[in-house]
């Protein structure tokens, strides 16, 4: 039988008991921390790999995103152009007489007084309408030119005018006007 007497104070005994318990639990705490660090490391590596895969996948789809953005911008441009060109396109489809008369007037003005129009007739071409899907019409211009070169230049300027599909010099004739020779003409412009 052992008999011993503990001469330590209560405070010293409490401290010693705490030290002993701390030494016992420190191993458990260290093992727990080590396990948490290992699990955290494995989890971090897994998340890091997934993030790299996601970034690689996004990099593959980046050109498609750029194309979608560019496509959206082009769609906006198309809508803007359609809105801006809506009225001119509608007028070009209808082939308004005022536009045609303006083109003829511009061609006459470009000749600097060498060509004069006397008559302008609008005609609907029934035979051409039956053959094609779109009805065609023509303008017959009758006038006088100072000389044959002025008439030829006038016909060429009408041929370059946009809505006319065909410009045909139907007839020319030299006439005496005030003792000067002038060239009368008949031109048929189809549109």
What average pLDDT does the chain have? 83
Q: pLDDT: is 80 or 98 the higher one?
A: 80
State whether 18 and 72 are in the same domain.
Answer: yes
Per-residue pLDDT of 174-189, as tens digits, reads 888 788 888 899 998 8
> pLDDT-based confidence at 103, cuts 50/70/90?
confident
DSSP label of 111 = T
CB 70 within 8 A of CB 62: no
State whether 102 and 178 are in the same domain.
Answer: yes
Structure tokens, 139: 């303008």
Choose among 139, 116, 111: nearest CA to 185: 116
State whether 34 and 82 are in the same domain.
Answer: yes
Adjacent-strand bridge partners of 185: 143, 172
CB 124 within 8 A of CB 143: no
Structure tokens, 5: 């007497």
pTM, two decimals, is 0.45
In a domain, 125, yes or no: yes
Per-residue pLDDT of 144-162, as tens digits, reads 988 888 888 888 888 887 6
State whether 185 and 103 are in the same domain.
Answer: yes
Instruction: Give me the pLDDT at residue 6, please.
Output: 73
Per-residue pLDDT of 35-44, as tens digits, reads 999 999 999 9
State whether 41 and 106 are in the same domain.
Answer: no
């Amino acid at each position: 039988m052992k008999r011993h007497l503990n001469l330590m104070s209560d405070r010293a005994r409490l401290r010693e008991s705490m030290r002993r318990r701390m030494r016992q639990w420190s191993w458990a705490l260290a093992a727990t921390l080590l396990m948490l660090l290992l699990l955290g490391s494995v989890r971090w590596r897994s998340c890091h790999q997934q993030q790299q895969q996601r970034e690689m996948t996004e990099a593959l789809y980046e050109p498609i995103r750029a194309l979608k953005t560019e496509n959206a911008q082009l769609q906006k441009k198309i809508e803007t152009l359609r809105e801006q060109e809506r009225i001119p396109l509608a007028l070009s489809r209808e082939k308004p007489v005022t536009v045609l008369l303006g083109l003829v007037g511009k061609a006459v003005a470009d000749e600097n007084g060498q060509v004069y129009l006397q008559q302008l007739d609008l005609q609907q071409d029934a035979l051409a309408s039956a053959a094609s899907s779109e009805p065609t019409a023509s303008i017959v211009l009758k006038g006088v030119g100072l000389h044959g070169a002025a008439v030829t230049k006038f016909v060429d300027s009408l041929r370059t005018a946009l809505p006319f599909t065909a410009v045909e010099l139907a007839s020319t004739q030299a006439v005496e006007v005030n003792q000067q020779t002038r060239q009368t003409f008949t031109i048929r412009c189809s549109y």
